[in-house]
A and B are shown apart, each in its own frame.
Chain A
């Protein structure tokens, strides 16, 4: 366990030191949010109850954590694999689960300031006003909803090479973001796309966030889909890590 603690500290330290990476990863969703802010009329109402500005802020929290998960997990991990560092760790006593959990945790740590900054922009420029408890609840909700994104990022990082990492990460960002209704409400999409949204964690994370802001009860299906997708992705990550574990560079 002390080994895992040491590794977690090491990974988090590495992330916090790479400030260029952090600035871009955290800054991108914020800039994206501001572009959207200037574009739409604040009076619009989504699904009959949700003001556009609230919908937008919650969506951008989701998009931000998606970006963070994919780039912190995917891009960085692919680079690390290219260096052969994961193979060195494989021949130390560090257990496989510890590697996977640490990578996911480190990715989540990047996601937290993203949520905070998007909310800050929402409160200052976005015209969103909430009582303190709702800010806190929303922050936690959006952060925890990022677990599937972090796992997805780690899965990408373990699966694709450095050259493929960037296009794959970018594609997933927009596919999971768009079809999950983060740029446009799902209710405005044609029927088949609405079905696609139902299976995406991005859609359900957004729904949870909106439920918190709305004050209406949290829907069990949203939680269920998020937990299920996190579990499925974590399983895929572990299987992928093992598979990699079991396949040496043959020569």
Chain B
């Protein structure tokens, strides 16, 4: 009840709530008035470049740091209590280490961690979910990077958490490892649990999360479904080949925000691809090999973070 947090039973609270959170390390400001909410059952990506404030956000979320200003609430409680009660599971960044105790059998580590929780998930269920059946008899130092990450995932879900927090979980994995890892996370999130993960891989944020929160210089600069974020910034790209492209005509087409001509290849950035293509036909442009694509998440990211002062909260 301290810090004005409502813990009345039966009240449906958000999985995560940050309100006006400011955090400084000495003179450096890491979080500059961060506001965000994650609902139960949501899978949300925290997207940002290195130094954007992602890890500080994660540390606050897990009660490893206390907010200097503002409110951080996890599952309707303080982060520390939510973690102490075993309602939160997490995979943190481990730097060069594997994040596991040296020289221990995987089965023993999992059995021990399960016992730290009052109501752990069934052992077999955890093993199946994380796909670590074949690894149980191995010792931790014999695991590959991807295998270690699976084991750490198993440890993170050992308590059957309502909220799963992952800080750049795939940084040490290859492409195939990443894919199967995210499939695992998706299945976990599909069962009504909240998942929050930090990443600077734009594709991951886009593919895995239902919602992407872009953090830059310690503030939320964009918040919405990946598709909405893309829509916010030059939604579509229309490409075609034309023999003698006429720049003056192309610039006047409906929806077009930018025209790029490289020899016979024309690239149009458009806010309304349908209107642009119709206008293209009406204008009698002799095009071929027409291609319409969504703007890459990379472009969205660059556009959103170019101006750190700008606040582009969309999709809410």
Contact = CB atoms under 8 A, between A and B. Distances in A.
A125 interface: no
Contact of A95 (B50, B84, B92, B102): B84
A87 B117 contact: no
A92 B100 CA distance: 14
B85 interface: yes
Interface in B79-121: 83-86, 88-104, 108-109, 111-113, 115-118
Given A3-B117, A10-B112, A85-B97, A91 B62 contact: yes
Interface in A223-251: 245-251
Given A3-B115, A250-B25, A88 B93 contact: no
A63 B266 CA distance: 80
A249 B115 CA distance: 27
A93 interface: yes
A178 interface: no
B208 to A, nearest CB: 20
Nearest to A8: B112
A2 B116 CA distance: 7
B275 interface: no
Given A7-B112, A251-B55, A93 B83 contact: yes
A84 interface: yes
A248 B64 contact: yes
B84 to A, nearest CB: 5
Contact of B97 (A17, A83, A90, A247): A83
A74 B97 CA distance: 18
A6 B116 CA distance: 7
From B88, B101, B165, name the one whose CB has the most chain A CB atoms within 10 angstroms. B101
A84 B64 contact: no
Nearest to A90: B64
Nearest to A248: B59
Given A3-B115, A88-B92, A91-B83, A248 B65 contact: yes
A134 to B, nearest CB: 39
A85 B113 CA distance: 12
A250 B56 contact: yes
A85 B100 contact: yes
Contacts of A94: 116
Nearest to A10: B112
Given A83-B94, A85-B100, A88-B155, A93 B54 contact: no
Contacts of A109: none
B112 A6 contact: yes
Nearest to A94: B116
A91 B158 CA distance: 12
A80 B141 CA distance: 12
Contacts of B155: 88
Nearest to B66: A246
B51 interface: yes
B92 to A, nearest CB: 5
B117 A93 contact: yes
Nearest to B52: A251
A82 B92 contact: no
Contact of B64 (A7, A80, A245): A245
A83 B108 contact: no
Nearest to A87: B92
B188 to A, nearest CB: 17
A127 interface: no
A13 interface: yes
Contacts of A251: 50-51, 54-55, 93
Contacts of A249: 55, 93, 95
Given A7-B116, A93-B117, A248-B65, A84 B97 contact: yes
Contact of A92 (B58, B98, B101, B159): B159
A130 B247 CA distance: 104
Interface string B168-180: 0000000000000
A79 interface: yes
B99 A85 contact: yes
A162 to B, nearest CB: 10
Interface string A1-45: 011011101100110011000000000000000000000000000
A14 B97 contact: no
Contacts of A80: 101-102
B99 A83 contact: yes
B152 interface: yes
Nearest to B48: A251
Contact of A83 (B93, B98, B113, B165): B98
A251 B51 CA distance: 5
27 contacts: A3-B117, A6-B111, A6-B116, A7-B115, A10-B112, A13-B108, A14-B104, A83-B100, A83-B102, A84-B97, A84-B98, A84-B99, A85-B99, A85-B101, A87-B99, A91-B62, A91-B64, A91-B89, A91-B92, A92-B117, A93-B116, A95-B84, A246-B66, A248-B65, A248-B92, A249-B55, A250-B55
Nearest first, the 5 closest Cβ-Cβ pairs linking A and B are A84-B94, A6-B115, A83-B97, A248-B59, A84-B97
Given A88-B152, A90-B62, A248-B56, 9 more contacts: A3-B116, A9-B112, A82-B96, A83-B97, A84-B95, A91-B89, A93-B85, A245-B64, A251-B50
